[in-house]
Amino acid sequence: MSKFFALIPAAGSGLRMENNLPKQYLPLAGRPMIYHVLRTLCRSPGIASVLVVLAPGDSEWLKHDWSEFFGKLVVLDCGGTTRAMSILNGLKAAPDELSISDDDWVLVHDAARPCLSEAQLDKLMNELTDDAVGGLLAVPLADTLKRSGASNRVEHTESRKGLWQAQTPQMFRYKLLVDALSRPGSMRMTDDASAVEALGLHPKLVLSDARNLKITYPQDLILAELILRAQQKGEYGECG
């Protein structure tokens, strides 16, 4: 039986957050942002270990108490200059004691998506466990799309038919992910599925919802805090 591992690339600087503290450490609901996904992933009984990839020389990690995750958490300080490089470095640096085999699943999840719920995680793992390729959480596009021309004037309206917004976790088998990310060109890709698609494969889209939002701008923190508080109070329904 294939095992499940999670990997969190957390070596970014989060420039768009207008803050000197890297995004993954910004305070959110009383904790550093990355705490919330670590909790969700480490508490999942299906996940064998959670690897976190930090930037070399990260001085912030050790300022916080991670002891509740001992036994499940593996910290690697081999982040690269792009998200894809951080992930590839982390996959290659996974300690031998974890005995990750080529067919084991790796769920790559961004530290910048702190509101991932247990239900969303379980849904992804259940829907893909027997899949030949793997896939990702995603949401069908809801807004009307405008193509801009000069001076932010609308050139035309794009069809949103068949368009989805990719989220994380993105779940692929260990060897497929290493092979896909090792190809020239993969280092600039903004998600893992794109690298797998470049091999001619078709990852599966698993229906998620907008609550698994990505923190990109300061205002996203307000929404994330509301979602986390609702989760903590048990007001968070099933996804999809």
The residue ranges that bind ligand C5P (CB under 6 A) are 9-12, 24, 53, 79-83, 86, 110-112
CA distance 4 to 185: 27
Q: Using an 8 Å Cβ cutoff, are 28 and 221 in contact?
A: yes
Residue 233 has a CB neighbour count (10 Å cut-off) of: 8
Q: In whole angstroms, how close is the CB of 113 to ligand C5P at the nearest point?
A: 8
Rg of the chain (C-alpha set):
18
Output the smallest distance, CB 118 to ligand C5P, in A: 20
- Using Cβ positions, the residue closest to ligand C5P within the complex turns out to be 12
Asked if residue 169 has a cis previous peptide bond (ω within 30° of 0), the answer is: yes
Kindly state the tokens that stand for 140. Answer: 């069908």
* Smallest distance, ligand C5P to C-beta of residue 215, A: 7
Identify which of residues 131 and 187 has a Cβ nearer to ligand C5P in the complex. Answer: 187
Query: Which of 21/129 has CB closer to ligand C5P?
Result: 21
| Residue with smaller CB distance to ligand C5P, 129 or 182 | 182
The smaller minimum CB distance to ligand C5P, of residues 101 and 216, is found at 216
In the bound state with ligand C5P, the residue whose beta carbon lies nearer, of 11 and 124, is 11
Pairing state of beta strands 105-108 and 4-10? parallel
Q: Using alpha carbons, select from 191, 50, 212, 42 the residue that is nearest to residue 120.
A: 212
From CA 52, how far away is CA 58, in angstroms rounded?
12
Closer to ligand C5P by Cβ: residue 9 or 134: 9
Q: How far is the CB of 81 from ligand C5P (least distance, A)?
A: 5
Q: How far is the CB of 150 from ligand C5P (least distance, A)?
A: 28
Q: How many CB atoms lie within 10 A of CB 55?
A: 21
Pairing state between β 154-158 and 105-108? unpaired
State the minimum distance, in angstroms, from the CB of residue 83 to ligand C5P: 4
- Tokens (6 digits) for 94: 């996974």
Query: Which of 10, 107 has the CB closer to ligand C5P?
Result: 10
Minimal distance in Å, beta carbon 37 to ligand C5P?
Answer: 9
CA gap 42, 216 in Å, rounded: 24
